[in-house]
């Protein structure tokens, strides 16, 4: 078995010998302290004695230009004076001024002024993608970094990286803490060595395919251990590590060794190295055992990185697999668009590809690009219908490729080498042709993240593959094939000479040196947050979107790509909310927010008042707060973007109802923006357009009661019908989260504290 899941508590002895926890010759409570993760978390925890919750402070923060304006604006509204820890502002998402005139560059000017005013680090556009820069300049052994991007993963370098929505970074900027229950820690135990034609994406996809759908790794720390690690270069580890986000884990950490010491030394950071390894006895909540030597080249077909096949398995029978994919597409998008993938199969049962991309924090590493170059070298991409683009992760990598001749070799082969940019990961660069098929060594292949617009009759498909097999396909003239077919698939490790000249000449490092005299530079699209009211005594929610898809991604809640330029304007961005999934949502939500359905609301409110006055519980009848809400089966998979929640709040939302929340970070985003994350176990007892009345909701959120009798009221012309009640459980909340929801948002909470202190 390539990936084996051990669903029981286990003990690692000396990092290698595996025993069932109950049979181990050690004290279990002490062994729980023996993981690498425990040591790092304990060093960053400010919890009181015997408290199970963690209260964490991070060593550094990182954001890109889609998120940092909103974060700084939120923190500023809450009393920000200086950045208390290094805050790195990178510019790798809105680097192309394709939408909205000057507004992308206006955001960059704002970021530069904020770095000078508050004491931050500013990395100009095209210099590095966010995670490549952090690896090269900041990640070190034993530290913790919080980023406003879901792929914040630096575990291979000994750093616990956590990707969250902007609200959590705001808290750190205000010297508040990140609260979380102690996470499960799973051992990812690696054995053997990968074949030369197998790359880090192949390993990552094998891992994701084994654990995503069953939730095995959800919200856990993945701790990479075992003898197989020694066979992997630092960049190979980094490229696996960044993809752990797609397992739905919370964070990741790896053993460190001479390979990592050398990597840090090459980047001029010897002092940031220390050996990390489990104690003699280390307790894990389960294990993922990976046999590296048995992994084959892989492919993740649309529409998720977990839709994994061995590439050879797919190529033996592409027709049946793609036919099923077409059916899945019809369920997602309806029959108005067709993938057209069956048209890619020729009479010889070969699959033709339109485009290849090697890019970003996952694909744009030096080793990946060098290996691709070696495979293609001396060949061409053959015909005009196939295009290959390569995006090095940083300008320093680009510089080394230029000096060692790889850049010239790639260009001569027909590949186009571009500057550092995250666009291919979220649909803002190299958008394929309609019904095109693109193979990518990037992070995600969710719907829409390739830049198409199915609602407008456009569709394109992305499959994730390793750069080695992408290069082999390019060498094969765009006919899909595995790197195993070319055999000369590279050394998987190349000599790298890091030159920080691009950073020395362009990066502004004002960490610890704020200048309060600097004025923030505002462009016309940068807007303040609208006012948000505190939670009322009784809550009346109209369901304005009802989504029954198995999973709803953050890309569907608020689109990437075409909306990126509006991320600094809450009202403008909110107009795009759910536009790909439920185009009528915005108007329905605004109608509730702006009380444009007064007659209906009056009838429903009257029904609520009758319920309150007929009750013997002594409810307050004067305060019935009216807002909107959505239902989704499992919302929040994917990106950390807080706008998936904040846009709902701007439109007057106050709650989500869900069977399950896909990630902790989406649930945190909801809470930070005053949206209550209600959970319902079974099919909801309401439909779209119904009102949900929750009497004494404050008591429910305060924890004064564990559940509430909740009423479903259905409007009809001139009247409102009471359709019965159901028991709504109080969300699982810690004390800080309760306060945020009661205040109505993180901004309100902090403003109230500042006002009270004054």
> DSSP label at 209?
H
Scan for tokens 């300008």, then name that residue. Answer: 395
Most distant pair of Cα atoms in the chain: their distance: 84
The domain that holds 275 is classified in CATH as 3.40.1060.10
Q: Which two tokens stand for residue 104?
A: 């992308």
Dist CA 86 CA 173 (whole Å): 10
Residue carrying the six token digits 């790509």: 561
User: Looking at the domain assignment, is residue 513 inside a domain?
Assistant: no
Is residue 528, in this structure, part of any structural domain at all? no
- Beta-carbon neighbour count of residue 475 at 10 Å? 24
Chosen domain end from 277, 294, 311:
294
Residue 524 domain-assigned (yes or no): no
Q: In terms of Cα–Cα distance, which of 649, 618, 623 is closest to 748?
A: 649
Q: What is the pLDDT of residue 22?
A: 76
Range of the domain at 86: 60-178
Tell whether the model's pLDDT for residue 307 goes beyond 80: yes
* pLDDT band, residue 383 (cuts 50/70/90): low
222 and 153 Cβ atoms separated by less than 8 Å: no
Q: Are residues 309 and 195 in the same domain?
A: no
pLDDT score of 99 more than 70: no
* Contact between residue 262 and residue 493 where contact means Cβ atoms under 8 Å apart: no
Token digits of residue 158? 């000994």
For residue 706, tell me if it sits in a domain.
yes
Looking at the structure, tell me whether residues 562 and 675 fall in a common domain.
Answer: yes
Residues 496, 422 share a domain: yes
**CATH number, domain at 573?**
3.20.19.10
The count of structural domains within the chain is 4
The pLDDT value recorded for residue 266 is: 95
Confidence at residue 758, expressed as pLDDT on a 0 to 100 scale: 41
In this prediction, residue 755 carries a pLDDT of 46
Contacts of 591 by beta carbon, 8 Å cutoff, 6+ apart: 597
| For the chain, percent of residues with pLDDT exceeding 90 | 64
The whole-number average pLDDT for the span 275-294 is 95
The one-character DSSP state at 519 is P
Residue 616: predicted pLDDT: 46
SS3 553: strand
Residue 41's contacts (CB-CB under 8 Å, 6 or more residues apart) are 54, 56, 160, 182
pLDDT in tens, 311-355: 999 999 999 999 998 888 887 777 778 888 889 989 899 999 999
pLDDT score for 647: 94
Q: Is residue 397 part of a domain?
A: yes
pLDDT (0 to 100) of residue 52: 77
Q: What is the pLDDT, as a whole number, of residue 619?
A: 47
Q: Note the pLDDT of residue 79.
A: 84
Confidence of residue 98 (pLDDT cuts 50, 70, 90): low
Query: Do both 317 and 207 map to the same domain?
Result: no
In a shared domain, residues 326 and 282? no
In a domain, 627, yes or no: yes
Higher pLDDT, 364 or 16: 364
**DSSP code string of 596-632:** --HHHHHHHHHHHHHHHHH-SS---SS-EEEEEEEEE
Give residue 757's pLDDT. Answer: 43
pLDDT tens, residue by residue, 417-476: 999 888 788 777 788 888 889 999 999 888 877 777 777 778 888 999 999 999 999 999
- CA atoms within 13 A of residue 695's CA, in its CB half-sphere: 25
Q: Are residues 320 and 462 in the same domain?
A: yes
Contact 85, 58 (CB under 8 A): yes
Is pLDDT at 291 greater than 80 in this prediction?
yes
pLDDT of amino acid 753 = 63
User: Quick one: average pLDDT of 285-293?
Assistant: 95
Tell me whether residue 328 is exposed, middle or buried, using C-beta atoms within 10 angstroms of its C-beta: 0 to 12, 13 to 18, 19 or more: middle
How many helices, marked H, and strands, marked E, lie in the chain? 27, 32
Based on the fold, state whether residues 601 and 584 are members of the same structural domain.
Answer: yes
Q: Are 692 and 710 in contact (CB under 8 A)?
A: yes
Q: Is 437 left (phi over 0), alpha (psi -120 to 50) or beta?
A: beta
User: What is the predicted pLDDT for the residue at 100?
Assistant: 62
Confidence of residue 615 (pLDDT cuts 50, 70, 90): low
For residue 624, is it within any domain?
yes
Nearest 10 degrees: Cα torsion 328, 332, 334, 335: -30
State whether 452 and 561 are in the same domain. Answer: no
For position 607, what pLDDT does the model report?
A: 86
Indicate the pLDDT class of residue 27, thresholds 50, 70 and 90: confident
Domain boundary among 450, 482, 501: 501
Please compute the mean of the pLDDT values over residues 359-365 and round it to a whole number.
93
DSSP 115-176: HHHHT-EEE-TTSB-HHHHHHHHT--TT-EEEESSTT--BGGGTBEEEE--HHHHHHHHTT-
- Look up the CATH number of the domain holding residue 413: 3.30.499.10
Scored b (16 or more CB within 10 A) or e, 671-686 reads bbbbbbbbbbeeebeb
Residue 39 covered by a domain: no
pLDDT confidence of residue 454: 75
Are 465 and 322 contained in the same domain?
yes
Asked whether the beta carbons of 667 and 697 are under 8 A apart, the reply is no
Place of tokens 């991309």: 357
Q: Which of 274, 294, 314 is the last residue of a domain?
A: 294
Give the least confident one: 47-51, 284-288, 500-504, 725-729: 47-51
CA 416 centroid distance within chain: 28
- Mean of the pLDDT values across residues 563-583? 87
Which letter does DSSP use for residue 479 in this model?
A: B
pLDDT at 754 over 60: no
d(C-alpha 283, C-alpha 410), whole Å: 47
What pLDDT was estimated at residue 546?
97
Specify whether 392 is located in the same domain as 429: yes
Token pair belonging to 41: 């978390």
Enter the tokens of residue 122: 């500013």
CB 131 within 8 A of CB 153: yes
In angstroms, the CA 534 to CA 9 distance is 44
Return the closest-CA partner of residue 640 out of 668, 659, 660: 668
Check pLDDT > 90 for residue 34.
yes
What is the per-residue pLDDT for 565? 75
Q: Which residues contact 365 (CB under 8 A, 6 or more apart)?
A: 132, 235, 238, 239, 393, 397
Q: How many residues does the chain have?
A: 758
Residue 307 shares a structural domain with residue 248:
no
Quick one: angle between helices 643-650 and 664-672, nearest 10?
A: 30
Same domain for 410 and 482, yes or no, is yes
């Amino acid at each position: 078995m390539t990936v084996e899941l051990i669903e029981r508590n286990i003990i690692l002895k000396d990092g290698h010998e595996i025993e069932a926890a109950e049979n181990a010759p050690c004290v279990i409570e002490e062994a729980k302290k023996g993981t690498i993760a425990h040591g790092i978390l304990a060093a960053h925890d400010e919890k009181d004695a015997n408290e199970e919750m963690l209260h964490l402070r991070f060593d550094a923060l990182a954001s890109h230009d889609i998120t940092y304006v909103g974060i700084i604006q939120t923190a500023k509204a809450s009393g920000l004076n200086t950045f208390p820890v290094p805050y790195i502002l990178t510019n790798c998402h809105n680097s192309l001024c394709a939408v909205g005139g000057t507004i992308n560059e206006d955001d960059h000017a704002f970021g530069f002024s904020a770095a000078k005013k508050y004491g931050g680090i500013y990395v100009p556009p095209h210099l590095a993608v966010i995670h490549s820069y952090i690896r090269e300049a900041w990640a070190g052994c034993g530290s913790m970094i919080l980023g406003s991007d879901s792929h914040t993963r630096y575990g291979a370098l000994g750093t616990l990286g956590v990707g969250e929505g902007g609200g959590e970074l705001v808290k750190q900027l205000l010297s508040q803490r990140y609260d979380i229950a102690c996470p499960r820690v799973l051992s990812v135990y690696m054995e053997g060595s990968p074949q030369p034609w197998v790359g880090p994406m192949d390993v990552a996809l094998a891992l994701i395919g084994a654990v995503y759908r069953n939730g095995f790794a959800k919200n856990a720390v993945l701790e990479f251990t075992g003898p197989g690690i020694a066979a992997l270069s630092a960049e190979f580890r980094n490229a696996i590590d960044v993809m752990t986000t797609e397992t739905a884990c919370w964070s990741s950490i790896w053993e460190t060794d001479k390979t990592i010491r050398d990597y840090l030394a090459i980047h001029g950071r010897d002092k940031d190295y220390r050996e990390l390894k489990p104690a003699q006895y280390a307790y894990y909540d389960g294990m993922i055992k990976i046999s590296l030597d048995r992994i084959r080249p892989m492919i993740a077909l649309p529409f998720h990185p977990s839709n994994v096949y061995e590439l050879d398995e797919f190529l033996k029978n592409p027709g049946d697999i793609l036919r099923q994919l077409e059916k899945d597409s019809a369920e997602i998008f309806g029959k108005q668009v067709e993938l057209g993938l069956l048209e890619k199969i020729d009479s010889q049962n070969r699959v033709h590809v339109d485009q290849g991309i090697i890019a970003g924090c996952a694909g744009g590493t030096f080793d990946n690009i060098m290996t691709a170059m070696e495979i293609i070298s001396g060949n061409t991409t053959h015909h005009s219908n196939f295009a290959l683009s390569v995006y090095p992760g940083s300008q320093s990598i680009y510089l080394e490729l230029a000096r060692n001749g790889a850049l010239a070799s790639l260009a001569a082969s027909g590949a186009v080498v571009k500057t550092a940019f995250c666009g291919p990961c979220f649909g803002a660069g190299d958008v394929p042709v309609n019904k095109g098929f693109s193979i990518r060594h990037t992070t995600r292949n969710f719907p829409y993240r390739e830049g198409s617009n199915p609602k407008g009759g456009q569709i394109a498909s992305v499959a994730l593959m390793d750069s080695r097999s992408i290069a082999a396909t390019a060498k094969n003239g765009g006919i899909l094939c595995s790197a195993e077919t070319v055999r000369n698939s590279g050394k998987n490790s190349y000599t790298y000479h890091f030159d920080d000249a691009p950073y020395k000449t362009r990066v502004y490092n004002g960490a610890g040196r704020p200048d309060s005299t600097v004025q923030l530079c505002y462009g016309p699209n940068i807007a303040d947050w609208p006012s948000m009211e505190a939670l009322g005594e009784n809550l009346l929610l109209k369901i304005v979107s009802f989504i029954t898809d198995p999973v709803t991604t953050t890309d569907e809640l608020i689109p990437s790509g075409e909306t990126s330029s509006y991320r600094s304007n809450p009202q403008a961005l909110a107009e795009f909310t759910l536009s790909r999934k439920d185009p009528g949502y915005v108007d329905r939500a605004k109608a509730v927010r702006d009380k444009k359905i007064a007659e209906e609301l009056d009838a429903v409110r009257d029904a609520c008042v009758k319920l309150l006055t007929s009750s013997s519980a002594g409810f307050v009848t004067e305060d019935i707060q009216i807002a909107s809400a959505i239902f989704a089966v499992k919302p929040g998979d994917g990106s950390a973007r807080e706008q998936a929640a904040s846009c709902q709040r701007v439109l007057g939302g106050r709650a989500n109802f869900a069977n399950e929340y896909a990630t902790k970070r989406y649930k945190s985003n909801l809470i930070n923006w005053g949206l209550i994350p209600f959970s319902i176990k079974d099919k909801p007892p309401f439909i779209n357009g119904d009102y949900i009345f929750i009497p004494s909701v404050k008591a429910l959120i305060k924890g004064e009661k564990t559940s509430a009798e909740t009423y479903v009221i259905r409007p009809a012309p001139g009247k409102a019908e009471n359709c019965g009640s159901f028991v709504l459980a109080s969300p699982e909340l810690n004390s800080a989260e309760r306060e945020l929801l009661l205040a109505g948002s993180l901004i309100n909470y902090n403003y109230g504290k500042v006002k009270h202190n004054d």
